[in-house]
Chains A and B, each alone.
Chain A
Amino acid sequence: MKILIVDDFSTMRRIIKNLLRDLGFTNTQEADDGVTALPMLRNGDFDFLVTDWNMPGMSGIDLLKQVRADPKLVSLPVLMVTAEAKRDQIIEAAQAGVNGYVVKPFTAQVLKEKIDKIFERVGGG
């Protein structure tokens, strides 16, 4: 399981990386915004994308839209982990095809739950 973590704050990338490691996911890579992440996704064989929303360059929502528009990445599971908490934004992310949405600050339990749920659904579907 290869996972890409996208967040402009290195501390948050480190936190998510740590939590994922505790959950048994050790193969992770990092990018600091959508512009960096997109070519990595296109050229790498990632199984899962965890992205923030608010980033310079390309935001997480734009990254999600690009991912869904790419035939190679269209079914890549995407979890958004963000401080953006407006209802309109959550709806927009859902419409853009996000697989899970976690608001910051979050707990390890919530992150695990959402990831489990995504893989359950992806595996079952």
Chain B
Amino acid sequence: METGHLGNDEKFVAELQDCAKLLIDKLQNNHYQDASKLIHSLYEVRDRHIFQSVGKLTRALHDAIVNFHVDADLYPEARDSEIRDATDRLQYVIKMTQDAANKTMDRVEAAAPIAVNLGQEAHALKMEWEKLRRREMSKQDFARLYGRVDDFLEQMDEGSNQLSQNLQAIILEQGFQDLTGQVLKKVIGLITDVEKELVNLVRIAGQVEEVAGLAVDKPDAGAGKSRPDKSRVDKSLVDKSAAEGPQIHARPDVVNGQDEVDDLLSSLGF
């Protein structure tokens, strides 16, 4: 796309030099009318160069806005921008972390009363047991304690099962860190790309200033090489094996949950 800022510059300078030579020639030979025409065309060449540079700047600005997504109503083409996608991704991170926090707390809230009840019953039984050891227990009390121990052992069995289930679920719930981490890495990559685009934009703006004579003298500014537009990779060229991370939206080419994975694999003879 950008065939090169340098190419344009060379043409511009060459045109200026040609005009200047002719101008000296005309002036020395007293051809004032022709000289005046040449001065006019000098202006034209300079203006054209500025227009071209401004055009490039406008184009780059437009790209930056599309990438940055300032306002989707003002710039409808921004609706499919990567920044929009990044916004969705960050929303996904919020949702994942929120869900994980809630589910973890749900599990703790479900487990806590079980632990409390078992503890209370164990404490009460211990008191009864000590009575028995001190031989302060009547036959009737002993019969009651006998039944109570029986119940407690059953509660203990069931309760410890529920506790370990809840603990395992809490561990599993921490998987959000991996899934959100993958999404955040992608967004960080995008921000780095946008930053590069913006740096380029600033560079192009600098070139316009230079040509228009607005620049505070910066002799090396023209040395910047023309930038090949490689910062964004054509999606169709992306390797099929490339990892995509968690899917944010439902899509036909993406499975929705483990059941669909199993169906797909069994259709392949697994």
A107 to B182 alpha-carbon distance, docked (Å): 19
Contact indicator A15/B174 (Cβ below 8 Å)? yes
**A108 to B258 CA separation, bound complex (whole angstroms):** 12
The A93-120 residues at the B interface (CB cut-off 8 A) are 94, 101-108, 110
**B172 close to chain A: CB less than 8 A:** yes
User: With A59-B243, A85-B254, A92-B241 given, is the CB distance from A104 to B265 under 8 Å?
Assistant: no
Q: How far is the CB of A37 from chain B (nearest CB, A)?
A: 16
> How many pairs, one residue from A and one from B, have CB atoms within 8 Å of each other in the complex?
99
Tell me the minimal C-beta distance from B258 to chain A in angstroms.
Answer: 5
Interface size range on A against B: 35 or more
The residue in chain B whose Cβ has the minimal distance to the Cβ of A92 is B241
Give 28 A-B contacts (CB < 8 Å), ordered by A residue: A11-B174, A11-B177, A11-B178, A15-B171, A15-B172, A15-B175, A53-B243, A54-B243, A54-B244, A59-B243, A83-B246, A84-B245, A85-B255, A85-B256, A85-B261, A87-B253, A90-B255, A91-B268, A94-B268, A102-B258, A103-B257, A104-B178, A104-B179, A105-B175, A105-B176, A106-B175, A107-B172, A110-B258
In the complex, how many angstroms separate the beta carbon of A97 from the nearest chain B beta carbon? Answer: 11
Does A12 sit within 8 A of B, measured CB to CB? yes
Q: Which residues of B sit under 8 angstroms from A25, Cβ to Cβ?
A: none
> Which residues of A come within 8 Å of B, CB atoms?
7, 9, 11-12, 14-15, 18-19, 22, 52-55, 59, 61-62, 83-92, 94, 101-108, 110
Using CB atoms and an 8 Å cutoff, list the residues of chain B in contact with chain A.
Answer: 168-169, 171-172, 174-179, 181-182, 240-241, 243-247, 253-258, 261, 264-265, 268, 270
B261 touches which of A52, A59, A102, A105 (Cβ 8 Å): A102
Whether B178 lies near A12 (C-beta < 8 A) is yes
Whether the pair A7, B268 counts as a contact (CB closer than 8 A) is no
Chain B contacts for A103, CB-based, 8 A = 255, 257-258, 261
List A contacts of B270 (CB < 8 A): 94
**Min CB distance, B247 to chain A, in Å?**
5
Contact among A12, A59, A101 with B175 in the assembled complex (CB-CB below 8 Å):
A12
Q: A12-B178, A15-B172 are in contact. Are A104 and B241 (CB under 8 A)?
A: no
- CB-based contact A88/B168 at 8 Å: no
CA distance A55 to B178 in the complex (A): 11
A84:B244 contact, CB within 8 angstroms: yes
Q: Which residues of B contact A106 (CB under 8 A)?
A: 172, 175, 258
Chain B residues with CB under 8 Å of A89's CB are: 240-241, 244
**Which residue of the partner chain, among A9, A84, A90, A94, contacts B181 with CB atoms under 8 Å?**
A9
